[in-house]
Amino acid sequence: MSNPEIANSIRTGAFHTNVHDLGEGAPVLFIHGSGPGVSAWANWRLVLPVLAQTRRVIAPDMAGFGFTERVPGAAYTMDAWVQQALDLLDALDIERADVVGNSFGGALALALAIRAPHRVRRLVLMGSVGVPFAITPGLDAVWGYTPSFANMRRIMDVFAFDRALVTDELAQLRYEASMRPGFQETFGAMFPAPRQRWVDAMASPEAAIRALPHETLLIHGREDQVIPLATSLTLSQWIPRSQLHVFGRCGHWTQIEHSARFARLVGDFLNEADGLID
């Protein structure tokens, strides 16, 4: 049986990136989070087909995650991830795209918009990292994951508000994903303790965030135990052209826990830039 997480292999700099590329129209780059065993498809599988009905959706596995080529000795830094995103846009001949970032991916989307503002049209930051905050026990547990079904089950309970979403079957699938060759070795080396330093390393300078010219949609789950709602409140105060939507009864998985609402909200926001909504 083919694995839906494996899509197109695109050359980005010195390695190949696994990337989903669906639909036609205005391009949207989706950047996933940093959970164990994560991939672009695992993060975005419910919303990509919906948004691909009206636009081109592009969802890569960032370096060190998913099925993107792992290069021995590679540096997993914000600079490297931003360069990968730019290399991917170049390889696909995309001059400018809307960018949707989840958690770690939000910090990356923010850094991309700051460093290459002309390549980004609109920003969507969901449960985003990118500003200073004290690491939560939830995030510390996610980044400190060691492979076992029990640990994966425990982490997934932290991610979702509605525990009914976190079935043993789903936890087993994500545990097996985290155990694929190379996955845990990369993940374990990426965020070693003490982990506050990785939160700090992903933060963009306040002055640079305040200078962002982009229309930005901030989305956060009120009950998020991984990234505190306060990060999006801070971003909403710092980004001049921003709006914030908070989902109640929602943890860190807005795009999964409220997938239809999430897709509609993002679709409407991007349609404004297309002139489809007054």
Q: Clarify whether 16 is annotated catalytic.
A: no
Catalytic residue among 20, 39, 214, 224: 224
Q: How far apart are the first and last CA of the chain?
A: 45
Neighbours of 154 (CB within 10 A): 14
Nearest Cα neighbor of 111 from 214, 256, 254 is 214
Q: Clarify whether 252 is annotated catalytic.
A: yes
Q: Clarify whether 245 is annotated catalytic.
A: no
Burial class (CB in 10 A: 0-12, 13-18, 19+), 250: buried
Catalytic residue among 20, 214, 252, 258: 252
Catalytic residue among 103, 128, 178, 232: 103
| Residues tagged active-site | 103, 224, 252
